[in-house]
Chains A and B, each alone.
Chain A
């Protein structure tokens, strides 16, 4: 079954017809040419396809495009305005990558995660569920655990996220 949908992609409205089986990831990459959103495992296990949907980090591979009609998508490319986003710059400053394939997902995940911290969301490693969140190394590791880096650039990623958080 085909459906007409409209997505806002990095601020630009894009209309297209999708089969119900099309994931948001495939709609972005294969239909709209938004190739900075990466397909890693395609099963919600690696985090490469992380994008911001209506401001929150989600996995595009587990979302059906038809079900997300009308959503605002922000990808790693869409984060830069008048120069790099602070998270992007921090990944450069700290070599938060090697091959770079997971990087767009890492960057979007970090941006979404820092918003969650600002909103006071606790994590699995938060000792006191009712206290303000203190973004320690363990907190960053836990909150970024949905993004795998096959090159193992985790030390740089941790440093980059700490810098971007202003820690």
Chain B
């Protein structure tokens, strides 16, 4: 591991200034992903700017011009967010997504912002001895011709077939959450759906954030659809594993017909995949297996897979059908 300077800034603005002044510095939050990457040689900053003690650990309801919601500080621990009474009652898919990720210990360490910014678990990205365009731009993609079982089926590029690993991001994408950012020019708000990006020719960039921008919190709007929501994660073992595919779903039914529906997928793309085509196809419909299946198949029209990850197309279709049927029966 490269020698590291360590800075504990007094304020979020001081943290941003530290990253502006040193292009080789990185923010350190809970550390569960970054410390591992330092050991593996995946990243090699020369300075860590420790934001973990900044006062960004509140969970508060707000009600401003854009409507009411829940504001969650960047440093709120994953376990605390999942256990928060308002999250459990108003945003069950957020609680379920968090609880399906990592282990009890890691959820106690990992932060809200860090969860969103964790990096892919593509086996080649994590193995510094292999070519990987995300780790070393221009070096090639080992996953395309290598072990392909985890590869993306939507929105991948020649350069990268990695998937985004966060469960929380998938749930928040379904809820139209907003990310609050602090940069050198002040604060701005970004729809969570625009935080992560597809790989294109620049898979080294996971997000659209400026290099020194700091996530200070997220805002989740209250909505009738969020109350009947859940998160279903399919993986190789029952616990403590990343998703093969996952489905965040929420539905608002009126007289048995879909008034509003949200579907987002994990494990299928370089970003949380909001299935908007499927959503549009379902509005006004009864939630029947064939109807949901047809809507999902529209969304999957452009899915591309190889021999080893073709199962994901079927799996995400069937998991979505099952999850929405369960919600229609009131199971969240």
Contact = CB atoms under 8 A, between A and B. Distances in A.
How extensive is the interface on chain A, given as a class? Answer: 35 or more
Interface stretch (B100-108, B187-195, B215-223, B294-302): B100-108
A63 B109 contact: yes
Given A62-B31, A122-B88, A130-B89, A116 B36 contact: no
A112 B104 contact: yes
Contacts of B85: 130
Given A20-B4, A62-B36, A57 B104 contact: yes
Contacts of A141: 238-239
Interface string A147-163: 10000000000000000
A21 B1 CA distance: 7
B99 interface: yes
A43 B105 contact: no
A86 to B, nearest CB: 19
A21 B4 contact: yes
Interface residues of B, number: 38
Interface string A64-102: 101100000000000000000000000000000000000
Interface in B4-40: 4-6, 28, 31-32, 35-36, 38-40
A50 interface: yes
A57 B108 CA distance: 7
A143 B238 CA distance: 12
B185 to A, nearest CB: 28
Contact of B50 (A67, A116, A130, A146): A67
A123 interface: yes
B100 A120 contact: no
A64 B36 CA distance: 10
Interface of B: 1, 3-6, 28, 31-32, 35-36, 38-40, 48, 50, 52, 79, 82-83, 85, 88-89, 92, 95-96, 99-100, 102-106, 108-109, 238-240, 332
Given A47-B103, A58-B108, A113-B104, 18 more contacts: A19-B3, A20-B3, A21-B1, A21-B4, A44-B106, A57-B105, A59-B32, A62-B106, A67-B6, A67-B50, A112-B104, A112-B108, A123-B99, A129-B95, A130-B88, A145-B240, A146-B106, A147-B103
14 contacts: A20-B4, A20-B6, A43-B40, A44-B106, A58-B108, A59-B32, A59-B105, A61-B35, A64-B6, A64-B48, A67-B50, A129-B96, A144-B104, A147-B103
